[in-house]
Structure 1
């Protein structure tokens, strides 16, 4: 269940007559408890309550109290030994009149009337496995309103299927935006009478809903007609109480879809909500999925938390405004200058969705402006920050409409907060017709026409609020001297997730610079466009992206074209989880990267979840270091490192590979075959302890083994498989030699270090293995044969893990290995004989610690929740020894490790950094 379904179920439960015996089970059912779980609790099989309540292990202990004894019941629940034994997260007591609950982890308590407990449903969302942030838990209204609007939307489309077609979908979306405005306006005194819209629909339309659409059409028409024109426009007298709204919101077609009785009921229920509680920060993000068939299943799960948005906006420009406010103190002139500066600042989100970045930016700026006005003794002064300075581009029309509406609501709420209800109402209507949210493809539109360079007169069209600029009547807007800040969270779309239209966009944006951009994520296009825009304007940019844009093969395909000419990175936030409210959601690992013109930002900052530091230069790997791009090498950069090769490719349909039993039976039947059977390992074999073998048949042994039926049958199958291949070489050549692998790597005489091609991101160290002589490593792993095991120590270190995770990148979230990119570029200091001996002992200690836990698999041993203490200690010691070779001590964190590795890489590969931070290659 998602948050919306839970809210609906809880609200329904509160509206029903209180049933003391059923309440605990109905409550749990509302949070997704399955029927089998409830049945076992009812029977007592799993209910371990010791005070006559209902106890669900690891979740909640519920007690229905006698009337007036709720407080005592909650105390009993808290002191109950069973509560502690079952590790309950919550306790809950109610008598059907009062309601009390406590989160036993945080100590947070709820005390309310029983009928009002649904308002706190977010408090209990962990019962449904939903990881929540504080903002969501405090936004029960937004969740409730969105859920109701979704039900209305779906119900209307049942009876008006033509409104779901591409021809009329825009009208449907526009209709929903109008409804939201009406609900908000009637609860905030924008309309002269509370519940004016809802009450009028209820009173003037028939209960059978046959004329509901006609009544709403008349209301909409009234709000688009000035009072002096209403008589000639045929507005019914009862609709004259509605004000003239304008602003394009009610212009154009006033068609309304036909309502069923159910749809009419939904509408009246939605109007009964308290829309004063709407939070435009997140409401738009929640509701945008209502109008998207593909996204409705994850309704409301596109929520972006305010703290995450501020991670972008604060370093981009809000921190600077607050610093200037602090510097100004109570100096009237400095405060006036800051206010004047803020009035010209433009915030531009070229992937704005439902506008949450723009709304948060607007509200934060209004807060600063209000403080300025307060210090200057002008607390009720009208805001000088125009909504037209908050501009966006959004591909889909409904989120674009909601973005504009969210800004309108944010403006009104800010006016009420800082100037008072009377002043806010006096200036709210009619709405301003100007609209700077453009619906279109941000990668195809000209950003300079949507947000032109400062110091130029802008002729833009604006009559219909939600139509593209090309269809709008001209207005003039002067933007002399202002700053522009680009921000947002564009669509990521990594390799394999892009469709044809995305690839066309990428060719349009990146194709002007390079033909090689196959590894670049879709979000990379926004960095290119931002850099191009900044060349023409006084602008800075800060965008959210998946951390993969600063890792692996895509980095040299993207960043040389972003950081061209005079563009540089002035702020970087290292990897963090950009999560939403979805149950069991797999949070995306993101970074924030901020760009400016070189020299515009003297202070450059790198931030992580643990610390923040100022640096001189930030490169594309988001570290304090020279601008460089690590690319594949055919041989190791460090001459002391051995060659790492790829494994063997059987291309045999599995017929040259045997499990242990098959191998044992074959050797028992034909002892001479024993010398042809070799251990065979790929990544999963090594990690999960699979025991496989393979046949390695020399050419001079082929004739002999073909006399053995079991082997001959296997070779015939391989020949047949290859003969049917689509590849000419496989058909014409390899099919004639079925005993040979398509490619066979060298077979070790002493040992082989196996390096998996992929490893889980959860592991603290990249697990490599040491295998015996004669082992054949498959093409699903890499290998170093017959070598000193001091290299096993290097491969097993945190130093190597942080390097490969940065320069090799990830496969989804897992570490992805590359010999040419991860090993051949690995910077290693010159090693003395003592260094090698110390590292060899460390490698031996790791191997001995593993062996002590036989038969546990590598996957088991390197599970961070199960890793044995002695193995962890061996790895820690290994890191300590290796890191001392680099700097004489342990590194404090991964960022420090990376900075040292890049410093050494620069020395080994290039000349000294220039003043600009770029580096020149040695001749």
Structure 2
């Protein structure tokens, strides 16, 4: 009997799996099970092995379930039985078997699980029945193939990417670069994957390298070149011979049709490629491998390889609310139908195959890959339901007259992308082919027939272009687009290159303050123009800067010109991955359409979803009101100001040690040294000092050598500055550039504070304490104002309208304070709030050893302090209205409406 191809064996394995997936009883069907098992590999069990082989142990006769002398012993149990005991029982039989007949392999099974022991190589392989098709190569000794070394559970990983990176470097060192190098590497990746997943016969590419090329690697490049030609040539057009080349299938799909320059390999590079081929590429995750290999080709990024690919969990935060949840809901609705169910299912499958997806900054294709995978899995669920509706059975009734493409209608050509990097664009295209094949395998398991979609007649439409320069309409007509998704690049204004700044300037047509926008804003702007007056749904990941502070106003004023309406959003969260040294960025996800949206809007916060009437650009359920920068408060309250700014090169600021040194060496300096407080010192009791020489006489200053040395350094620092304003202050080097210190005690508000706190810590400071430019100052002992600023109402406002430093709050004068709608207090309300503030300050004094950070940590906040704050919250809220606020969203909605009312007439 001729040896079966691995493709045929896999096909038979799938039939076997489907046939035996519900069997449980050892005694009833075990023999038939193993007859069918051997038939998977084209072998009649009767020719090689016997059931119930008798063996003598300690004078007793025992019966081996199945014995193939010299090769295999099988011990079979009922479903769920202990396989360790089964193995012990199997090896116990060895005492009754002649040495020459002892097997190399022991196989134990309970129908649902297989465990294969290779006693010569001391290896164990375990897998489930439904994974037999993936593991048939373990049984090459049954099929008649020469035994090969197989590294079980050895997936493609960071090591593989590093090895490919070494090949990249070696080729680059000999000036094999550019598109030739990128394309060659992508082709090698495809061949390695094809070798393990049924596109090629198992191990064919590895055998090609190992057995058909010189060990020194000198002929490898030429033979690869010819192999690529073969992969691009239909079988009927090839030269007829019996070489290994003709065992490779026709692939085409534009992957192999471009003629490349011939590379040069050496022995080390050949060995690296062989080592790659020994890994199990069938376990590859297309969602991450593109990013890994993209990084592997960059020597600088390779040190942090794997640190920047996006986790699947985070990508799903975009995909699910954008389209997947809605499609699944529609499918579930059809499943419940009794009338016209079959027609509706078939219509729904056609709908899935007609959807188009567009990522205008696709990188190596992560978002498109997972979107395609989810669409294919949903289509398979639909096919299962169609089959059940037709025949009333779970297993598929395969119509052998149908072509696979008549059954599976979704394909990679539904996916479009733009990517500026050539290598990433090619990786994205190949990755989509890979996930297509993985999904074909999953479908084949259900159909009971192995299938590879070859030749690759369809391909994803990945354009290697600059998405900020190319017209998106030329990539995909918006009339044919359903969804836009992705993760465009984030670059803050401070870190942008000249070219990136030019991009923003051009795309926003010199809109005022657009120079402060994050680079990601460009994609929001272009997408809004692209989807205008269409039904396209869009969702982007973005840095959270576009949903807070001044950037928000600048960007969304422009987006609203295209009737943009937010339909779902994820509030700030850490966008990270599962790799070591993972990169964490504070992000939001915003889904939007152009025009009205009648369906429910969804707002996510730490994976908790609430339905919203309206989602504003602040990503809250409130009217769409933009809080614009304002120089004066909208309420009748004192103005707030920055603390004093030194611009001194650190020369007017002293550490505690420097302070002691000054006073010890020159006691006169003691009267000029003042406590110096910024956000850190205010919240954490940090100790810092400054030379405060505002009222010091020139003669006294000149009498201090230490002080004059510092002043001279300040002057030098300011004169060297590129800023004209700073150079001007070199004329007065003994004092701060901006002096804002009040002549009275004052309220101090930290410029930055942790978002984990329910209340932003604020404090009254003595006028002798110098406030730095990292705190805000309100002169006077206004207890009622302190109470309102320290209340939940103000903290809710701050949390939602302020800018952020990472996830920390950034308090601001022009956005937060000046726009906050303070309540009008009656005399009684004012007295009540003042009393509670005094209680708060007195309670704090009881914990003098604790910092404000300790006191306002949600975990360690004293109960007595918390209870007073809760009373203060109620008092402040009653000053706004008598009706109780149930949630923070109610508070915020009320404040926005009040703001809108107070600013209506300018």
TM bin (shorter chain): 0.7 to 0.9
Deviations 1:65-99 (A, max 9, x none): xxx99x9xxxxxxxxxxxxxxxxxxxxxxxxx99x
Cα pair 2:488 2:523 within 8 Å, conserved: yes
Spell out the pairing of 1:262-411 with structure 2 (5 A cutoff). 262-329=268-335, 330=337, 331-377=341-387, 381-411=406-436
Structure 2 CA distance for partners of 1:354 and 1:897, relative to 1, 3 Å: farther
Structure 2 CA distance for partners of 1:112 and 1:810, relative to 1, 3 Å: farther
Match of 2:495 among 494, 497, 500: 497
| Cα distance, 1:739 vs structure 2 | 5.0
Cα pair 1:747 1:774 within 8 Å, conserved: no
Cα pair 1:655 1:714 within 8 Å, conserved: no
| Cα distance, 1:620 vs structure 2 | 1.1
Distance 2:723 2:163 in 1: 59
| Cα distance, 1:614 vs structure 2 | 2.8
| Cα distance, 1:246 vs structure 2 | 0.9
Distance 2:152 2:561 in 1: 47
Distance 1:722 1:241 in 2: 74
Spell out the pairing of 1:515-664 with structure 2 (5 A cutoff). 515-535=512-532, 537-583=534-580, 585=582, 587-609=584-606, 611-639=608-636, 641-652=637-648
| Cα distance, 1:714 vs structure 2 | 6.2
Deviations 1:700-743 (A, max 9, x none): x7366357445973696378547835579779975555555433
Deviations 1:462-506 (A, max 9, x none): xxxxxxxxxxxxxxxxxxxx5510011111122323222322222
Residue 449 (structure 1) aligned with residue 474 (structure 2): yes
Distance 1:276 1:738 in 2: 69
SS in 2 for 1:298: coil
| Cα distance, 1:533 vs structure 2 | 0.6
Match of 1:205 among 198, 207, 213: 213
Spell out the pairing of 1:69-108 with structure 2 (5 A cutoff). none
Aligned residues: 751
Report the counterpart of residue 42 of structure 2 in structure 1. none
Distance 1:744 1:648 in 2: 5
Report the counterpart of residue 428 of structure 1 in structure 2. 453
Cα pair 1:396 1:439 within 8 Å, conserved: yes
Match of 2:171 among 149, 152, 160: 160
Cα pair 2:420 2:467 within 8 Å, conserved: yes
Match of 1:792 among 786, 800, 821: 786
| Cα distance, 1:419 vs structure 2 | 4.5
Distance 1:328 1:574 in 2: 33
Cα pair 2:168 2:185 within 8 Å, conserved: no
Deviations 1:91-136 (A, max 9, x none): xxxxxx99xxxxxxxxxxxx999956999xxxxxxxxxxxxxxxxx
Report the counterpart of residue 719 of structure 2 in structure 1. 724
| Cα distance, 1:877 vs structure 2 | 4.4
Cα pair 1:224 1:244 within 8 Å, conserved: yes
SS in 2 for 1:294: helix
Residue 185 (structure 1) aligned with residue 182 (structure 2): no
Structure 2 CA distance for partners of 1:427 and 1:712, relative to 1, 3 Å: closer
Deviations 1:576-615 (A, max 9, x none): 2322013353532222111112124433222223543333
Structure 2 CA distance for partners of 1:806 and 1:240, relative to 1, 3 Å: same
Cα pair 1:151 1:266 within 8 Å, conserved: no
Deviations 1:536-580 (A, max 9, x none): 644110111122210111111111111223321111222223220
SS in 2 for 1:590: strand
Deviations 1:504-529 (A, max 9, x none): 2222322x261421221111111111
SS in 1 for 2:209: helix
Q: Which moved more, 1:244-253 or 1:178-187?
A: 178-187
| Cα distance, 1:785 vs structure 2 | 0.8
Q: Which moved more, 1:671-680 or 1:252-261?
A: 671-680
Report the counterpart of residue 685 of structure 2 in structure 1. 689
Report the counterpart of residue 849 of structure 1 in structure 2. 843
Gaps of 5+ in 2: 1-83, 88-104, 107-114, 128-150, 391-395, 399-405
Cα pair 1:443 1:525 within 8 Å, conserved: yes
Cα pair 1:392 1:436 within 8 Å, conserved: yes
Report the counterpart of residue 195 of structure 1 in structure 2. 203
Q: Which moved more, 1:753-762 or 1:868-877?
A: 868-877
Structure 2 CA distance for partners of 1:294 and 1:876, relative to 1, 3 Å: farther
Report the counterpart of residue 439 of structure 2 in structure 1. 414
Structure 2 CA distance for partners of 1:141 and 1:490, relative to 1, 3 Å: farther
SS in 1 for 2:627: coil
Cα pair 2:679 2:751 within 8 Å, conserved: yes
| Cα distance, 1:781 vs structure 2 | 1.8
Distance 2:547 2:798 in 1: 12
Distance 1:670 1:836 in 2: 49
Residue 217 (structure 1) aligned with residue 225 (structure 2): yes
Deviations 1:355-389 (A, max 9, x none): 22212222222233233333333766522223211
Distance 2:726 2:312 in 1: 59
Cα pair 2:553 2:627 within 8 Å, conserved: yes
Cα pair 1:566 1:597 within 8 Å, conserved: yes
Spell out the pairing of 1:894-909 with structure 2 (5 A cutoff). 894-909=888-903
Structure 2 CA distance for partners of 1:884 and 1:284, relative to 1, 3 Å: farther
Distance 1:337 1:419 in 2: 22
Report the counterpart of residue 713 of structure 1 in structure 2. 708
- When the two chains are superposed, the root-mean-square deviation of aligned CA atoms in Å is 3.8
Cα pair 1:541 1:595 within 8 Å, conserved: yes
Structure 2 CA distance for partners of 1:180 and 1:636, relative to 1, 3 Å: same
Report the counterpart of residue 831 of structure 1 in structure 2. 825
Match of 2:747 among 748, 753, 761: 753
Distance 1:760 1:677 in 2: 30
| Cα distance, 1:395 vs structure 2 | 1.9
Structure 2 CA distance for partners of 1:766 and 1:154, relative to 1, 3 Å: same
Deviations 1:615-644 (A, max 9, x none): 3322211222222221221221121x2211
Structure 2 CA distance for partners of 1:672 and 1:162, relative to 1, 3 Å: closer
Cα pair 2:676 2:770 within 8 Å, conserved: yes
Distance 2:125 2:706 in 1: 73
Distance 2:294 2:449 in 1: 27
Report the counterpart of residue 876 of structure 2 in structure 1. 882
Distance 1:722 1:169 in 2: 47
| Cα distance, 1:662 vs structure 2 | 7.7
SS in 1 for 2:572: strand
Q: If the length of structure 2 is used for normalisation, what is the TM-score?
A: 0.75
Spell out the pairing of 1:244-263 with structure 2 (5 A cutoff). 244-255=250-261, 257-263=263-269
Distance 2:350 2:370 in 1: 20
Distance 1:897 1:112 in 2: 64
| Cα distance, 1:169 vs structure 2 | 3.3
